[in-house]
């Protein structure tokens, strides 16, 4: 069948050399249309614009060379190795191949000229290249160089660099006659200092030797910034579109009697901070609207987010609807279960528990109470939103530790309400998100910040010590225990590991029990039965246990005011946000608390930076910003759990400074250029009919 005249929206099979098999392989790279090839940018570039003399080579260079074959032989040194020695009159180099065919072996004939590209390293006989790219020149042929940097694209099984470069060239040729729409060059949107879309794409696929390679490697070249801006814009507008859709949907306006909330707050044994009261007011205003609230509450560890959520629950219950409270782990869900029971027992509010580890009989009873409407507050893990759970009249969903969930989950939860009505959503995180990152990741949510800790809280004194000083730390535990104080001793693993030199919780528990034989040493970890773990945690809270050895399951857990000492083993292996979360387990009372981070040296640069930040500040937002700088947004937001969108070109850390301009452009485009909005969404997020549905 004769192929149609190709354009950028054509399927890839219109290109020369693309059949059904290759098209299938290209799909694994997210390539479906010709235009997709234009936005598959190189992951790096190789400079083959210069030919280096062999005598000028140095270890660590990656370059193009040429030389005459002086020697070619196969040797046996535990395995077959093909050695080829090249010379050019200024020096010599050895090529080393571990995987080769007889045909390749026969190609390297004496006196033939070979050009190679690869990494120069030190070998047994001097400088060498291992498995370089090479080409054997025909007699009389002169070595040639490229007139542009060579792009290196991401690959998948069944596709080689040469073939992908050829397909990109075909796409670029089509672009010359039928260029893509340059949506950012709309009237009054044009920034004449920014490259046009076609200029940016041409340069990024074929950069000349004069291009600033350093700025390209750092992703800061104006052409890269131009595309990153548009990609960030697509994702941001998608989330804002999602937010706009939610604002047009219907929900139950929760305008119930406020007396229950007043009683609840008045009965608390402490006074709320101004920040907590402000956020409760913001939530209350949202809940009274007939459209679903979509609000994110950020607050540092210990700032009192849970009681704010409980206040929102009282407004929902007094309005006659059910509330679902979801946490990412059973341990955190159990913590909420205990807190909510203690808070609401006196008000005869019916609470129900749902988790994946429930016995069948308990689960059946919980499901019946939820479906009948008897259960007013339902607490559990993500098991709450399985198909088997049918709510009678769900009006509010509270999600804790939002960074463990993503946009897909937020959207799915909207469908758990009564037919035609969507529940309000309140999502919380104790991982403070820097503003520019929050703009990109949570643009579908309104944001409240609890930026104040309860009165009386003192900053936690933090030090880092090498593990050889463990005996001093154990003495410190004994001293604090003599004053009636308690300690956490946190280890990353449960059992000893042959591959990771961690201090395991089991081993530390044994060591501390023997060393501190006059103290009660407890142990909790994720493999214990829930009832056993609950019993141990409760004993620690009641003061019956002096030292609690634990894995990071206590990153979130019970508040123990007398726990004033946190010791963290192998702190150099943990991220900043996790260390900050663990440190936040102490300092819950009025006594001065301390955190000791034990590390195994020598420390790398990243580990040194992390521990230094923890010593310098207790401010979760400062720590989050440093974590973002040190490890990137994926670590801070928990990419594996969140389903955070995979950006093709943009980098949330590197390009965070673009977000204010992205926000301004999105507002203008969505108001004045709806066609541009659809076009940008289609280009970066797939077909326009999926836009906003995530």
Residue with tokens 């673009």: 658
Alpha-carbon gap, residue 486 to 542, rounded angstroms: 11
| C-alpha pair distances (Å), 567 with each of 270, 283, 623 | 29, 37, 19
**In 3-state terms, what secondary structure has residue 173?**
helix
Strand order in the sheet with 294-299: 351-354, 377-380, 322-326, 394-399, 424-429, 294-299, 446-450
Cβ atoms of residues 472 and 515 within 8 Å: no
117-125 long-range contacts, CB within 8 A, separation 24+: 117/46, 117/48, 117/62, 117/63, 117/64, 117/65, 118/62, 119/60, 119/61, 119/62, 120/57, 120/58, 120/59, 120/60, 120/61, 120/62, 120/63, 120/93, 121/59, 121/60, 122/59, 123/94, 123/96, 125/94
Are the C-beta atoms of 492 and 627 separated by less than 8 Å? no
Burial of 434 (0-12, 13-18, 19+ CB in 10 A): buried
Query: Among residues 490, 512, 516, which one has the least CA distance to residue 586?
Result: 490
Distance CA 349, CA 376 (A): 7
Distance CA 310, CA 336 (A): 10
Is 520:543 a contact under the CB 8 Å cutoff? Answer: no
Residue 145, phi-psi category: left (phi > 0), alpha (psi -120 to 50), beta (remainder): beta
Q: Give the contacts of 514 (CB within 8 A, at least 6 positions apart).
A: none
Distance CA 514, CA 19 (A): 70
Q: Three-state DSSP class for 3?
A: coil
Structure confidence at residue 493 (pLDDT): 63
Please tell me the number of Cα atoms within 13 Å of 106 on its side-chain side.
3
Quote the CA–CA distance of 694 and 682 in Å, as a whole number: 12
Distance from CA of residue 135 to its chain's centroid?
42
Residue 666: other Cβ atoms inside 10 A: 23
Report the distance separating Cα 544 and Cα 112, nearest Å: 83
Domain 461-617 has CATH 3.30.70.20: no
What angle separates helix 505-515 from helix 470-482, to the nearest 10 degrees?
A: 60
Q: Are 15 and 174 in contact (CB under 8 A)?
A: no
Would you tell me the crossing angle of helices 330-344 and 530-541 to the nearest 10 degrees? 60
Give exposure, 476-510, as e/b (b: 16+ Cβ within 10 Å). Answer: ebeebbeeebbbbbbbbbbeeeeeeebbbbbbbbe
3-state secondary structure 99-164: CCCHHHHHHCCCCCEEEEEEECEEECCEEEEECCEEEECCCCCCCCCCCECEEECCCCCCCCHHHH
b/e 207-218 (16+ beta carbons within 10 angstroms → b): beeebeeeebee
**Which pLDDT tens digit goes with each residue over 462-489?**
999 999 999 999 999 999 999 999 999 9
d(CA 197, CA 190): 12
pLDDT given at position 82: 94
Flag residues of the chain having pLDDT under 50.
1, 187-188, 498-502, 634-636, 638-644, 688-694
- Cα(first)–Cα(last) distance of the chain, in Å? 37
Whole-number Å distance between alpha carbons of 111 and 441: 60
Instruction: Report the alpha-carbon distance of residue 195 to residue 187 in Å, rounded.
Output: 16
Q: Does domain 50-145 have CATH number 2.40.50.140?
A: yes
Tokens of 12: 């890839």
- Close Cβ partners of 339 (under 8 Å, ≥ 6 residues apart): 306, 310
Structure-block tokens of residue 181: 């729409």
Q: What is the 3-state secondary structure (H, E, C) of 488-499?
A: EEECCECCCCCC
Domain 259-450, CATH among 3.40.190.10, 3.30.70.20, 3.40.50.300, 3.90.50.10: 3.40.50.300
CB atoms within 10 A of CB 533: 21
Strands in 563-568's sheet, in edge-to-edge order, are: 461-466, 594-599, 563-568, 486-490, 547-550, 521-524
What pLDDT was estimated at residue 543? 92
Task: Look at the chain and count its residues.
Answer: 694
* Structural contact between residues 313 and 396, judged by C-beta atoms closer than 8 angstroms: yes
Question: Which 3 state secondary structure label does DSSP give 317?
Answer: helix
Domain spans of the chain?
50-145, 223-248+654-690, 259-450, 461-617
CA-to-CA dists, residue 465 to 260, 372, 469, 481, 493, angstroms: 50, 56, 7, 21, 20
259-450 matches 461-617 in fold: yes
Distance CA 377, CA 333 (A): 13
In 10 A of CB 229, how many CB atoms? 21
């Amino acid at each position: 069948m004769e192929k149609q005249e190709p354009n950028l929206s054509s399927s890839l099979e219109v290109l020369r050399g693309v059949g059904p098999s290759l098209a299938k392989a290209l799909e694994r790279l997210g390539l479906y249309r010709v235009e997709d090839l234009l936005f598959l940018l190189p992951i790096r570039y190789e400079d083959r614009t210069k030919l280096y003399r062999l005598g000028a080579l140095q270890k660590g260079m990656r370059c193009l060379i040429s030389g005459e074959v002086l020697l070619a032989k196969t040797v046996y040194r535990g395995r077959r190795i093909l050695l080829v020695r090249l010379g050019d009159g200024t020096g010599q180099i050895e090529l080393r191949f571990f995987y080769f065919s007889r045909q390749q072996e026969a190609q390297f004939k004496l006196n033939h000229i070979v050009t190679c590209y690869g990494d120069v390293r030190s070998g047994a006989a001097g400088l060498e290249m291992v498995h370089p790219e090479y080409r054997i020149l025909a007699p009389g042929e002169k070595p040639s160089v490229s007139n542009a940097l060579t792009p290196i694209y991401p690959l998948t099984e069944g596709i080689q660099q040469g073939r992908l470069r050829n397909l990109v060239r075909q796409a670029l040729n089509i672009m010359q006659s039928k260029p893509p729409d340059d949506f950012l060059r709309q009237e009054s949107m044009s920034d004449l200092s920014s490259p046009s879309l076609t200029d940016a794409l041409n340069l990024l696929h074929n950069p000349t030797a004069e291009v600033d390679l350093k700025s390209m490697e750092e992703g800061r070249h104006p052409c890269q910034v131009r595309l990153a801006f548009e990609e960030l814009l697509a994702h941001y507008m998608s989330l804002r579109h999602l937010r706009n859709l939610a604002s047009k949907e219907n929900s139950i306006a929760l305008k119930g009697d406020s007396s229950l909330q007043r009683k609840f707050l008045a009965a608390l044994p402490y006074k709320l901070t101004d920040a907590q009261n402000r956020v409760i007011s913001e939530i209350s205003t949202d809940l009274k609207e007939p459209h679903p609230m979509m609000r994110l509450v950020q607050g540092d560890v210990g700032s009192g987010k849970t009681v704010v959520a409980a206040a929102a629950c009282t407004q929902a219950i007094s309005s006659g609807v059910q509330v679902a409270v979801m946490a990412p782990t059973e341990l955190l869900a159990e913590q909420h279960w205990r807190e909510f029971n203690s808070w609401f027992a006196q008000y005869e509010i019916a609470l129900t528990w749902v988790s994946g580890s429930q016995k069948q009989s308990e689960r059946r009873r919980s499901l019946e109470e939820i479906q009948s409407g008897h259960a007013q507050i339902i607490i559990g893990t993500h098991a709450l939103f399985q198909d088997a759970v049918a709510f009678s009249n769900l009006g509010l969903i509270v999600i804790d530790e939002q960074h463990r969930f993503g946009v897909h989950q937020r959207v799915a939860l909207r469908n758990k309400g009564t037919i035609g009505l969507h529940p309000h959503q309140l999502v919380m995180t104790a991982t403070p998100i820097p503003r520019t990152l929050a703009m990109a990741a949570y643009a579908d949510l309104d944001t409240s910040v609890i930026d104040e800790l309860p009165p009386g809280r003192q900053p936690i004194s933090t030090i880092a010590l090498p593990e050889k000083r463990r005996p001093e730390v154990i003495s410190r535990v004994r001293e604090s225990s003599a004053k009636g104080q308690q300690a956490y001793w946190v280890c990353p693993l449960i059992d000893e590991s042959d591959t990771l030199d961690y201090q395991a919780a089991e081993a530390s528990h044994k060591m501390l029990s023997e060393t501190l034989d006059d103290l009660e040493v407890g142990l909790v970890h994720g493999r214990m039965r829930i009832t056993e773990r609950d019993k141990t945690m409760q004993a620690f809270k009641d003061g019956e246990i002096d030292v609690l050895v634990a894995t990071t399951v206590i990153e979130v857990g019970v508040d123990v005011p007398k726990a004033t000492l946190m010791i963290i083993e192998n702190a150099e292996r943990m991220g900043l946000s996790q260390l900050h979360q663990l440190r936040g387990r102490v300092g819950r009372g009025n006594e001065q608390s301390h955190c000791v981070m034990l590390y195994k040296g020598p420390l790398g640069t990243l580990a040194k930076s992390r521990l230094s930040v923890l010593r310098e500040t207790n401010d979760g937002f400062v720590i989050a910003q440093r974590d973002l700088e040190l490890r990137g947004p994926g670590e801070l937001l928990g990419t594996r759990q969140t389903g955070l969108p995979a950006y093709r070109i943009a980098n949330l850390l590197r390009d965070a400074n673009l977000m204010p301009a992205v926000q301004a452009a999105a507002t203008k485009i969505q108001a004045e250029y709806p066609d541009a909005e659809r076009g940008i969404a289609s280009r970066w997020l797939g077909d326009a009919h999926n836009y906003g549905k995530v």
